A and B are shown apart, each in its own frame.
Chain A
Amino acid sequence: MPVASPTIEILRAPAERMRGVAEIAARHSGEVDREGRFPQEAVDALKAERLLGVMVPKRFGGEGLSLIETAELCTILGQACGSTAMIYAMHQIKASSLVSHGGSSPWHADFMRELVEQQHLLASATTEGGIGGDLRNSICAVNVADGRFTLEKDATVISYGLYADAILVTCRRSPDAQSSDQSMVVVKRGDYTLDKTTGWDTLGMRGTCSEGFRLVSAGDAAQIFPQPFSEIAAQSMLSASHILWGAVWFGIAADAVARAQAYVRAAARKQPGSLPPGALRLAEVVAMLQDMKASVIAGVVRYEAAMSRPDELSSMGFAAEMNNLKVTTSQRAAQIVTHAMLITGLSGYKNDTPFSVGRHLRDVTSAAIMISNDRILSNTSNLLLVSRFDTSLVN
């Protein structure tokens, strides 16, 4: 679908634009989930509302939104459709790496301008056959000769791979590099072919269409980020992923709680003068939701304090806190939605009532395995052998 020209138009506030997109996403969320299809209408709307380039700095044509502002956009969309919101979050996580690390590289700076102008949708290929979710190791390697690169990857999960305009791929820095000595490469549509290897018929997050592919690509060597991937992972990807995922899961959980509240209020109206049975549990789940919100906000505050200091971003204490944010919010989201279902009872369990929370429940179950919590906890437990956690209330 053609994208409106970016020239001197006055854009409405991003949150307002996102609420319009969320209405469209909500309308299709049931079908997207049932059929496990890509939410094309909502993604078209994101492009039409020019919401894909919002994090790009103004000097490259974007709106320079901060991570917290972007997180709020993810939450708004998460209340409408978990899959669409996760797609948006994953795109912004890739954009945040460009924003943090691409500004000093002419190719990546141009690509940021192009991303804003053409509203490119960015996907990610970190997961690899034989490696799984261990982001910081690769088997595949980029090969550079005469200013050109070639790269092949057994990418076992690339969300919306077939619908993306570019993919950010991790790999070893060269064919003789160690598995942890990685680079990240931007491959644009036209630079690569994708041969589907695995499908995506899953419990939840069905609309993310996270199929597996054999990715074969070639391009200009300048498309490889100049920084090692270890720096990118530590300084932008870890915090952006865990904060924006947390924002999506919060949105899903918040919508489930809103449905539970609507259910309790309807019951209260039918029996004036008495407290409906779900009311106490509602108070309990609202407190849980508030607690989850506090975790996400504390993560953002921590990130913003560290943001301009690369050493701090690369520190173990910071990594441990960002890890904990992911584990806590993923667990909380699942507890909250389960609680919402207890409140709504059969009405919530059924898929066709205004109080249905089945899709929410299935979507949030992905949180714990989207980079397995066990993997993350074992990583943190390793960090805690040397790093002391922060005992202050206000850092």
Chain B
Amino acid sequence: MRDRIRKLIAERKVVAVDVDTLTDTSDLYEAGLSSFASIQFMLALEDEFDIEFPERMLTRKTFVSIESIDRSIAELIGEQV
């Protein structure tokens, strides 16, 4: 799943740096994730994983790193099954 997230970050040019320079815990906001880009990124994630982020997950903390995104998506997919 983390690879798919990374691929999206690269394709959608979500951050200002090369995705390969990011670790799973790197702060994406520090890497240049803007509020506009973060929403486009959320929409892309919803599309890619066929999920909908509930209101409680629409916070900065959810999208701060690849790891936190991975954890949230896993939780949502887990809820579906």
Q: Which residues of A contact B (CB under 8 A)?
A: 136-137, 173, 177-181, 228, 230-231, 234, 311-312, 314-317, 379, 382-383, 385-388
Q: Is the CB of B30 closer than 8 A to any CB of chain A?
A: yes
Q: Which residue of B lies closest to A384 (CB)?
A: B39
Q: Which residue of B lies closest to A389 (CB)?
A: B55
Instruction: Encode contact with A along B45-81: 1 for CB under 8 Å, 0 otherwise.
Output: 0100000010110111100000000000000000000
Whether A178 contacts B58 by the Cβ 8 Å rule is no
Whether B39 contacts A180 by the Cβ 8 Å rule is no
Whether A385 contacts B39 by the Cβ 8 Å rule is yes
Q: Which residue of B lies closest to A179 (CB)?
A: B32
Whether A228 contacts B29 by the Cβ 8 Å rule is yes
Q: Which residue of B lies closest to A387 (CB)?
A: B58
Q: Which residue of A lies closest to B33 (CB)?
A: A180
- Could you say which residues of chain A place their CB within 8 Å of the CB of B46? 386
In the complex, the 7 A-B pairs of residues with the closest C-beta atoms, listed nearest first: A178-B32, A316-B58, A314-B60, A181-B30, A315-B59, A314-B59, A180-B34
- Could you say which residues of chain B place their CB within 8 Å of the CB of A230? 29, 60
How many residues on B have C-beta within 8 angstroms of the other chain's C-beta atoms? 20
A237 to chain B minimum Cβ distance, whole angstroms, is: 14
- Could you say which residues of chain B place their CB within 8 Å of the CB of A137? 34
Specify which of A180, A231, A382, A388 is in contact with B55 (CB 8 Å cutoff).
A388
User: DSSP majority for the A interface?
Assistant: loop
Specify which of B31, B39, B43, B55 is in contact with A178 (CB 8 Å cutoff).
B31
Q: Which residues of B contact A (CB under 8 A)?
A: 16, 29-36, 39, 42-43, 46, 53, 55-56, 58-61
Q: Which residue of B lies closest to A177 (CB)?
A: B30
Most buried by A among B35, B36, B46, B56: B35
Q: Which residue of B lies closest to A390 (CB)?
A: B55
Whether B61 contacts A314 by the Cβ 8 Å rule is yes
Whether A386 contacts B58 by the Cβ 8 Å rule is yes
C-alpha gap A62/B19 in the complex (Å) = 47
Whether B42 contacts A386 by the Cβ 8 Å rule is yes
Specify which of B32, B59, B61 is in contact with A180 (CB 8 Å cutoff).
B32
C-alpha gap A386/B56 in the complex (Å) = 12
A142 to chain B minimum Cβ distance, whole angstroms, is: 15
- Could you say which residues of chain A place their CB within 8 Å of the CB of B53? 386
Q: Which residue of A lies closest to B41 (CB)?
A: A386
Whether B39 contacts A386 by the Cβ 8 Å rule is yes
C-alpha gap A15/B67 in the complex (Å) = 50
Whether A379 contacts B35 by the Cβ 8 Å rule is yes
- Could you say which residues of chain A place their CB within 8 Å of the CB of B61? 311, 314
- Could you say which residues of chain A place their CB within 8 Å of the CB of B43? 385-386
